Chain A
Amino acid sequence: MTQRLFLPLVVAATVVFAVAPLLIAWAPYESTMGLVQKIFYFHMPSWAAMFVSALVCGVASAFFLFKGHATGDRIAAAAAELAVVFGLIGLVTGPLWARKAWGVWWQWDARLTMALVLWMIFISYLLLREYGGPGSEKLAAGVALFGMANVPFVYWSVNVWRTVHPTTNVVPTLVPGMRIALWWSLAGFLLLYTTTMMARVRLESQRASLDRLYRDLDD
């Protein structure tokens, strides 16, 4: 089923990303920030993909921890890596936008600091799996639960605390030209996330098959 869906999803993601630059270029300029605001059309979707990945990682880790599903562990490992990749895109594109919009690369306010901490939680997940030794999968799954729990705090931090970052209310107020470009880019990122996730989970499954074969060979 997933293998049958993979190719159409790759084609759909390619088409969406091919059209996205045209919509982004066509989107109106923001009155105070001008051209640099167009970073938003990749910055926000990359964080959305990161949040989805963090949630998938947390839920899959819960299945692994409490039900003992090995598939849950494989999905969680794949999702954690994707959370780091999409989080990195968000963390790099954000300061490039901020430098022009706020006059600084970085501000240690609630939103930016919490987003960095969320990203570091998933870095620690991957480090724990890589260097934690036997049984580290379960420790990493515990870390993933904390990562998942952090997501709503990061999302609502702009509405609860005073930060320089725009609030979540910005998105519903976008004019049609900006809104189409944003939702289109978001669709592209979520398609890319889905296809990459499928490939990454396949890698984990193949690794598990390899381990099984080595064990059979030893027996």
Chain B
Amino acid sequence: MVLRGRMLCVLLTLWIGVAGTVETGTVSLSVQPQQQEEFVPVEELEPEDQLPAAPLLVAAYAFAWLAIFVYLWSIWRRLAHVERELGDLARRMAKR
């Protein structure tokens, strides 16, 4: 009875030890990067992975500058129009 109990304890300890080793091994394996088995040409990557960054960067900066310059030009044009009208009106009033 005592022997059976000791055997059970040893088996349980061994099982926990083996299970622990396997579990640790699994974790350490999952942390390691996967071994490369082939070289993949860049054209075969997912579209988002092969998307070049430079055109996006250039588009972003070009749009920002374009928006700023168009807006500054629109202010300048509107201001010139109002000031011209203001001048005309002031002259008309002065004549009266």
Contact = CB atoms under 8 A, between A and B. Distances in A.
Interface string A65-94: 000000000000000000001001100110
Given A35-B54, A202-B79, A203-B82, A214 B60 contact: no
A39 B6 CA distance: 68
A52 interface: no
Interface string B69-92: 001100110110011011001101
B78 A203 contact: yes
B68 interface: yes
Given A203-B75, A217-B93, A210 B86 contact: yes
B interface residue count range (under 10 / 10 to 19 / 20 to 34 / 35 or more):
20 to 34
Contacts of A89: 63-64, 67-68
A103 interface: yes
A111 interface: no
A118 B75 CA distance: 23
Contacts of B75: 196, 199-200, 203
Contacts of A202: 79
A34 B64 CA distance: 20
A88 B72 contact: no
Interface in B7-64: 46, 48, 51, 53-54, 56-57, 59-61, 63-64
A206 B79 contact: yes
A39 B89 contact: no
A interface residue count range (under 10 / 10 to 19 / 20 to 34 / 35 or more):
20 to 34
Contacts, number: 81
B71 A207 contact: no
B63 to A, nearest CB: 5
A96 interface: yes
Nearest to B86: A210
A126 interface: no
17 contacts: A35-B57, A39-B60, A42-B64, A85-B67, A92-B63, A92-B64, A96-B59, A97-B56, A100-B48, A199-B79, A203-B79, A203-B82, A210-B82, A210-B85, A210-B89, A213-B86, A213-B89
* Nearest 10 pairs of A and B residues by beta carbon: A103-B48, A36-B53, A35-B53, A93-B60, A96-B60, A39-B60, A206-B82, A96-B56, A89-B64, A213-B89
Interface of A: 34-36, 38-39, 42-43, 46, 85, 88-89, 92-93, 96-97, 99-100, 103, 192, 196, 199-200, 202-203, 206-207, 209-210, 213-214, 216-217
Interface of B: 46, 48, 51, 53-54, 56-57, 59-61, 63-64, 67-68, 71-72, 75-76, 78-79, 82-83, 85-86, 89-90, 92-93
Given A203-B75, A209-B86, A210-B89, 12 more contacts: A35-B57, A46-B64, A85-B68, A89-B63, A92-B60, A92-B64, A93-B64, A103-B46, A192-B68, A199-B79, A203-B79, A206-B83
